[in-house]
Structures are given as C-alpha cells and as structure tokens.
Amino acid sequence: MQSSPCPQSGERSRHVLAHAWAHALAHALAHGDPAALGMAAGSGEPTATRPATSEPSGEETAIPTARHVAIIMDGNGRWAQQRGLPRIAGHKQGAVAVRDTVRAARRLGLSALTLYAFSEQNWGRPLDEVSGLMQLLHDYVVDERSEILENGIRLRTIGNITRLPAFVRRPLESLIADSAHQSGMTLSLALSYGGRESITDAARSLLRAVAEGTLQPEDIDEDMVSAAMQTADLPPVDLIIRTSGERRISNFLLWEGVHARFYTTPCLWPDFNQKELLLALRQSHLLQTQSSPLPTAPTT
C-alpha cells in the first residue's frame, strides 16, 4: 500500500470527534503548531491535550471566516488503484469522506458546503461505474437521513436531477423536502451538474421572461443572472478545494466561484477529513483567531 500524500493524514477517526477536539485542532492550526497537529499513535486523536474550549485561559481559538466552501472531490480512482482495488472501492471510501466532511463542516459552523458529487460529464463513464455511483448516492441519502435531520442541515441539489434514476431521486427528493425548513447549514450536492449548463439554464429562464414581455433585455444585470441561478439563495463561494493535486476548475461553479479562493491538496478524496478541511481554511487565510474569555477573578 502506498503512503498517503495527505499532509495531515492519519488513520481516519472511527468515532465522531468531540466539539472540543475540533476547537483544539483549530487552535493548533491557527498557530501553525506542528507538534499539536501530530496524531497520537494509533488513536486517531490529535496530541493537542488542552482543548481551547474547556479551559478558558485568555488563549486564542480559530474559527472559520468562510461561510461557503465548495469541494471538487477528486482522486477516488487513484486511491483504489494504489491499493489494487476496483474503482468503485475508491468511490465507496469517498462516500465515507463525504459523511465525515459534512460533519466537520457543520461542527465548524459553515453556512454552506457544496460537493461536486457527479458531473454532467460523468454520465460518460463506464456503465458499471455510473451504476455503482448511483447506488452509493442512494445509500448515502438513506443512511444519513436521520443525521441530516437531527443536525439542522438543509439538503438540496444543484444540477439536472431529472436525469437520475428514480430509485435515487425518490429518497433524495423526500429528504430535500423534509429538511427544507432547516437553517443550520445548507449541504448542496452537485448532481448531473455542469457550470456552463447551469449558466445556460439561467439564461434560458431570463429569455423566457423576455419572450413573455415581463423583462426587458437592457434591464438584465449580473444580480438578475445570479438570482436566476440554482445557487441564488446561497452565500457567495469563499473557497473551492480540489483534492488529488489537480488545478483545474472542471466546469464547477463558474459563475458563483468567481471571487473564491482556490486551494488544491495532493490528498486523494477518500483520505480527506476534518484536519484537511481546517488546513485548507488556514492556508487560505479563512480561519480567524478569537480570544477565549479570561476566567473571572473571584470577588472577596
């Protein structure tokens, strides 16, 4: 087995990480303390021993200033190939990384997380790989339903989901409807998605209004195009992360990501985790240090 190229890789934690853990890690990342970022042997826990949240001492804690992070999840195939496994094994482990990254994003307080799960171009992959990805999507939506609902996450999609098979669309649409009122974090899955295709759709809807006589072409401005996009109700994209070292944007959020920072990591998507997310935010200057309150002096 090859060693992972993830700068922050370690054994994937098998349990849900504590909130204080995230704060300790954010603290370590904010201060660039490599020792604190090390993993305790075999435990999957960081060696930072004093979570900033548990002992208010006037120290500083890091919190993300980014509201909307979007990720091009790349490298599943290479992850599997490196282990002599079929490509679908990489996608399966990629789905585990999706679950962990959604948890981490929610815990860190992001408003929006957008994941490029299946591009319009991905329909051109071999039939068995497409079927395997559809099954994983179905399983994800079914398995994560209660966690999404219990954690205030609003699930939605961008892209043309009418192309998805009914066995995926049914549970997906049901969870979208049932989570529509939640406001903790919006998780957008880009499915059968293309950036150019989505801009074309927005143009088409504006032209329909022009044809109906409710809109004048000279009144169309950038805000109006933004409002016609599927992402209209999301905050602007602050950061686009691409795993596996690629530096291409690959038809992702072409309109919405125009002012976003771009971060690439050699880490393959199945190895991505909370530490990698925090590192991406830190390297992109999207972590802010915040002073913990000093303990109040006892009055005598």
Which is the catalytic residue, given 33, 76, 100, 122?
Answer: 122
Least distance between ligand FPP and beta carbon 15 (Å): 20
Q: Is residue 97 a contact partner of residue 273, using CB atoms and an 8 Å limit?
A: yes
For 76, other C-beta atoms within 10 Å of its C-beta total 24
Q: Which of 94, 132, 194, 257 touches ligand FPP (CB under 6 A)?
A: 94
Q: DSSP string spanning 64-125? A: E--SEEEEE---HHHHHHHTT--HHHHHHHHHHHHHHHHHHHHHHT-SEEEEEEEEGGGGGS
Would you call 122 a catalytic residue per the annotation?
A: yes
Residues 133-172 that bind ligand FPP (CB under 6 A): 133, 136-137, 140
Q: Is residue 63 a contact partner of residue 108, using CB atoms and an 8 Å limit?
A: yes
Q: At 40, is the secondary structure helix, strand, or coil?
A: coil
Dihedral class, residue 24 (left if φ above 0, else alpha if ψ from -120 to 50, else beta)? alpha
Query: What string marks each residue from 95 to 124 as x (binds ligand FPP by CB under 6 A) or -?
Result: x--x----------------x-x----x--
Q: Which residue is nearest to ligand FPP (CB)?
A: 77
Q: Which of 17, 48, 73, 168 touches ligand FPP (CB under 6 A)?
A: 73
Q: Can you read off the two tokens belonging to residue 66?
A: 């980014």
Tell me whether strands 60-64 and 287-291 are parallel, antiparallel or unpaired: antiparallel
Would you call 223 a catalytic residue per the annotation?
A: no
Query: What string marks each residue from 12 to 51 as x (binds ligand FPP by CB under 6 A) or -?
Result: ----------------------------------------
Closest CA to 252 of 236, 240, 265, 238: 240
Contact between 6 and ligand FPP per CB under 6 A: no
Q: Please, which residue, 263 or 269, has the CB nearer to ligand FPP?
A: 269
Least distance between ligand FPP and beta carbon 25 (Å): 23
Q: Can you read off the two tokens belonging to residue 78?
A: 């290479």
What type of residue is 60?
A: E
Q: Please, which residue, 82 or 182, has the CB nearer to ligand FPP?
A: 82
Contact between 64 and ligand FPP per CB under 6 A: no
Residues that bind ligand FPP (CB under 6 A): 73-78, 91, 94-95, 98, 115, 117, 122, 133, 136-137, 140, 189, 244, 269
Q: Which residues are catalytic?
A: 74, 122
